[in-house]
Structure 1
Amino acid sequence: MEEEPTKGQPRSRSAAHDERVTARIGLWLAISFGLCFATGLLSHLIQHPPSWFTWPSRPVWLYRVTQGTHVISGIASIPLLLAKLWSVYPKLFERPVVRSVPHAVERLSILVLSASVFFELTTGLLNVAQNYPWNFYFPTVHYAVAWIAVGSLLVHIAVKLPVVRRALERTTDRKPEPKTTSGLSRRGFLRTTLLSTGAAVLATAGATVPWLRDVSVLSWRSDNGPQGVPVNRTAAAAGVLTSARDPEWRLEVVTSAATRSFTLAELRALPQTTAELPIACVEGWSANATWTGVALPDLLRATGAAPGVTVKVTSLENRGLYSRSTVPGEHTADPLTLLALDLNGGELDLDHGYPCRIIAPNRPGVLQTKWVRRLEVVA
């Protein structure tokens, strides 16, 4: 027998508005957005580590996977969110607007959840495209709103859990679906949602999954850029076109005992290490590359410092949030952490950090400081 609509709610016989459809899509959305939140939180901790947090240097591809998962799960959440909102929109017109305290909490949680998740996914997608039509600092606001979204999601789940459990139990019912006056069947709507989500992922995942690049028609910056590696911030944008080419450039290495400077020729005269390492950006793209330069442990030993200390890195770039970075002891002890001089068999392009840059395994691209002028041992 067909269910009666809630009192005051417009009658809709579309299967897309069935609570079983809403529950199933809601479950998928909770998984995808939860995965997006967890991996985004991990990226935040890597970039702004509290005292208790450590991040390993191996395996070298781990950050590439976690950040790629963050972006892909966020993209997957967009069609799921749209399908979820479509499935519940008739409830927006229920009367009375508030029937009880639990009902008021439910409606408020839906409002906050929808607004915060929509904000997160929209701004995240624009960040991937490096399009910032706002005045606020994206990482801080994105991080704060993520907690609001997750908090409202947990409240919403707590309020709706009995309905969700009932609806999911009913999905095991194999009886023929009741006929509807229009639209897809429940299973048809769910299949369409899954296909749309899969298409969105397939069209973009090539940015971080190399073997999908030929079919990911909307992937971004996967292998574009000088020397086959994408560039987020150019030398011109960083204002280092003159200072990076200055023949008087010297790398300063500051230890507790002394300060030593190196010319580019002196750095090339030191033992060179070649490593194949991915560079992975917070926007989700990543690329494999072959880097050659001085292993940071070797450089530290040459200046009288022991590998495993914390090192502050300063760029020739005078402004910019990422003109400085800190390389923790886990990475300064790793022989694959390089002060890179060459990329893919050739001298570093100016946009890739000439005369030298940091490239460390399993680190976000924003922390792989370019146009390095100073290394300072701090611990």
Structure 2
Amino acid sequence: MDHPSLLSKTPPLPTDPGFWRSPVRGVRFTAVLGLVLLVGLTLVSVTGLISYAAYNPDLAAVNNKTPDRGWLGFYLFDWPTDPYWLYRLTQGFHVTVGIALIPVVLAKLWSVIPRLFALPPVRSLAHALERISLLLLVGGVLFELVTGVLNVQLDYLFPGSFYPLHFYGAWVFLAGFVAHVALKTPKALRAIRGGELRTKEGEGAAGVAGAHRAPDGGSGGSGVGAGADSGGEGDELASPRPAAATVSRRGAFAVVGAGSLFLLLTTVGRSFDGPLRRTALLAPHGWEDPGGGPNGFQINKTAASVGVRAADTTDGWRLTVSGPAGDVRLSRAQLLALPQHTADLPIACVEGWSTSNQSWRGVRLRDLAALAGYPDDPPGVFVESLQLRGSFRTGALRDNQVRDGRSLLALRVNGEELSLDHGFPARIIVPAAPGVLNTKWVTKLTFGAV
């Protein structure tokens, strides 16, 4: 028969340390995850900010999706054209690694959830500042992951434009991240140096469960959860009454690692051609079948989706080139009669996908600038498209992009005329630029307008 005192005992609340009974939790477990995120999220944050710089937002209003950024744009720099694969690398890394880190982020949050319910909620001014930094950190990283995945995986669902929301969310996250790193990195390093990630063989479930807190708040036992910090601190994350172990901490790390590997393998294929591209279940944009042949590579923005009709690109189409020399109107036949040049360049998108090098052929932008009245040192160019709706109907390129001999108004690709969905009758292709700045269905180039 149950003892009356046991029958009358109320279940523990989340504010009771005994409510959280997983033997996996512990300072060392959290510290390892934290150091993985320290490296991974730092690189993801840097490549994300670099991605924004690649749009040259300080060049023209059409490129600037965060007009109220103020001093947050202090780091912006003139985006280069070398190496030509730069944006393909940085943005592919940003999206792929960011998605692969999701299991690590969730495991880290799970490992510290008891602290969210600890009482009193604020013990001192320093503790209040720490909790504020955690609010910024946790809220920021979850917001960035959710908006980023929605942008990559689906048609964007959040109210407002993805660009400013993701940009400002990144700075909120970074504020909390920097503060948290400054406060916690020394402690994390002490925890990792303090012992092994699992108990010595033969210790059994109680040993695996780790340190039972002693009444004085210290750490009892010498298991994984034990507070083996070099500073002599107790393991504040280990349960005082751990349940029987069902998985070791190394097993928990294996589960998190397997989750990250799965997400990596279902994302990274978008940076490659061939069958691997179909494995990128978490980066499906551009899956519209472009068909076979030389134009058979990824398409993200079709002509139909932005209101471009085949009738708009027939014999009546003209390219207008504007500058000090006035307006020059050129038919496609006249463009083909100009000196033609070839550039082997990829297309890379903010969503993380990219193509391998395609062989583009057309007229160099700097040659068109000469027709407009800039025979030497051409300036930047404002590009307009036949596109009727959607973002980046217009775009601006810097002078260094115009001057690069690989920057073309492309008329052909891989030995064949451009297909309509790839920008027929003419499109921009520039080394190292985000895909949206490689404007398709070009109808006007105005040199010196940016």
TM more than 0.5: yes
Which deviates more from structure 2 when the two are superposed, residues 169-178 or residues 29-38? 169-178
Match of 2:81 among 57, 64, 68: 57
Moved over 6 A (4+): none
Query: Is the deviation greater in 114-123 or in 290-299?
Result: 290-299
Q: How has the CA–CA distance of structure 1 residues 134 and 24 changed in structure 2, closer, same or farther, with 3 Å as cutoff?
A: same
2:349–2:434 Cα contact (<8 Å) kept: yes
Q: Give the structure 1 partner of residue 306 of structure 2.
A: 238
Alignment of 1:287-302 (within 5 A): 287-288=355-356, 289-302=358-371
1:150 to 174, 177, 192: 174
| Alignment match, 1:119 | 143
Q: Does 1:26 align with 2:34?
A: yes
2:407 aligned residue: 337
User: Could you tell me how far 1:334 is from its partner in structure 2?
Assistant: 1.3
- From the superposition, tell whether residues 241 and 91 of structure 1 become closer, same or farther in structure 2 (CA, over 3 Å): same
How far residue 310 of structure 1 moved from its aligned partner, in angstroms, is: 1.0
In 2, the alpha carbon distance for the partners of 1:270 and 1:186 equals 67
Contact 1:75 1:125 in 2 (8 A): yes
Contact 1:243–1:249 at 8 Å: present in 2 too? no
Q: Aligned equivalents of 2:372 and 2:337: distance in 1?
A: 15
CA contact (8 A) 2:310 2:420 kept: no
Matches within 5 A, 1:241-320: 241=309, 244-288=312-356, 289-305=358-374, 306-320=376-390
**In 1: Cα distance, 2:248 partner to 2:135 partner:** 27
Question: Counterpart of 2:276?
Answer: 213
Q: How does 1:90-109 map to 2 (within 5 A)?
A: 90-109=114-133
Between 89-98 and 63-72, report the one with greater CA deviation: 89-98
Does residue 190 (structure 1) correspond to residue 253 (structure 2)? The answer is yes
Aligned length: 374
Q: Aligned-pair distance for 1:40?
A: 0.9
Q: Distance in 1 between matches of 2:324 and 2:185?
A: 59
Shift of 1:155: 1.6
> Residue 220 of structure 1 aligns to a residue in which SS?
coil
Is the CA contact 2:411–2:426 (under 8 Å) kept in the aligned structure 1?
A: yes
Higher deviation after alignment, 111-120 or 88-97? 88-97
Which residue does the alignment assign to 2:208?
A: 179
Q: Matches of 1:35 and 1:351 in 2, distance apart? A: 34
Q: Secondary structure at the match of 2:396?
A: strand
1:350 is matched by which residue type in structure 2?
L
How far residue 77 of structure 1 moved from its aligned partner, in angstroms, is 2.0
Per-residue CA deviation, residues 103-135 of structure 1 (Å, 9 max, x unaligned), is 222223222221221111011011012422222
Contact kept in structure 2, 1:358 and 1:372, CA below 8 Å: yes
Aligned positions of 1:128-147 closer than 5 A = 128-147=152-171
Distance of 1:95 and 1:304 partners within structure 2: 72
Structure 1: 5+ residue runs without aligned partners?
1-6
Which AA in structure 2 matches 1:41?
A: L
State the AA in 1 paired with 2:443.
Answer: R
CA contact (8 A) 2:308 2:387 kept: yes
User: CA separation in 1, counterparts of 2:323 and 2:259?
Assistant: 56
SS for the counterpart of 1:276 is: strand
Q: Secondary structure of 1:54's partner?
A: coil
Q: Distance in 1 between matches of 2:386 and 2:286?
A: 27
Aligned residue type for 2:259: S
Q: Which residue of 2 aligns with 1:39?
A: 47
Letter in 2 for 1:45: A
Q: Is the 8 A contact 1:317 1:323 kept in 2?
A: yes
Residues 194-205 of structure 1: matches in 2 within 5 Å? 194-205=257-268
Aligned to 1:268, the other structure's residue is in SS state helix
**Distance in 1 (alpha carbons) for counterparts of 2:17 and 2:142:** 25
CA distance in 1, matches of 2:362, 2:420: 16
Gaps of 5+ in 2: 1-14, 60-75, 210-243
Moved more, 97-106 or 349-358: 97-106
Cα separation, 2, equivalents of 1:143 and 1:189: 33
Question: Partners in 2 of 1:20 and 1:86 — Cα distance?
Answer: 14
Report how far residue 175 of structure 1 moved: 5.9
CA 1:243–1:150: 2 relative to 1, 3 Å: farther
Tell me if structure 2 keeps the 8 A contact 1:75–1:200.
Answer: yes
SS in structure 1 at match of 2:245: coil
| CA separation of 1:250 and 1:217: change in aligned 2, threshold 3 A | closer
Q: Which amino acid aligns with 1:10?
A: G
The residue matched to 1:87 in structure 2 has which SS? helix
> What one-letter code is carried by the residue in structure 1 that aligns with 2:368?
L
The 1:173–1:264 alpha-carbon spacing in structure 2 relative to 1, beyond 3 Å, is: closer
Q: CA deviation at 1:152?
A: 0.8
Following the alignment from structure 2 to structure 1, what is the Cα–Cα distance between the partners of residues 329 and 278? 48
The one-letter amino acid paired with 1:240 is V
The percentage of aligned residue pairs carrying the same residue is 42
1:75 alignment counterpart: 99
Instruction: From the superposition, tell whether residues 299 and 113 of structure 1 become closer, same or farther in structure 2 (CA, over 3 Å).
Output: same
Structure number with higher helix proportion:
1
Contact 2:287-2:300 at 8 Å conserved across structures: no
Q: Of 420, 430, 436, which aligns to 1:360?
A: 430
Counterparts of 1:362 and 1:214, CA distance in 2: 21
Distance 1:214 1:50 in 2: 34
What is the rounded CA distance, in whole Å, between the counterparts of 1:129 and 1:312 in structure 2? 31
1:190-225 deviations in whole A, cap 9, x for unaligned?
Answer: 232222212211221011144882783525357754
- One-letter amino acid matched to 1:257: A
Question: CA, structure 1 residues 149+64, in 2 after alignment: closer, same or farther (shift >3 Å)?
Answer: same
Given that residues 104 and 260 in structure 2 are in contact (C-alpha distance below 8 angstroms), is that contact kept between their aligned partners in structure 1? Answer: yes
Letter in 2 for 1:220: P
Deviations 1:323-372 (A, max 9, x none): 11111111111111110111222211111111101001110001011111
In 2: Cα distance, 1:29 partner to 1:212 partner: 31
The 2-side partners of 1:214 and 1:231 are apart by 13
Report which of the two structures shows the higher radius of gyration computed on alpha carbons: 2
Report the Cα distance in structure 2 between the residues aligned to 1:109 and 1:368, rounded to whole angstroms.
40
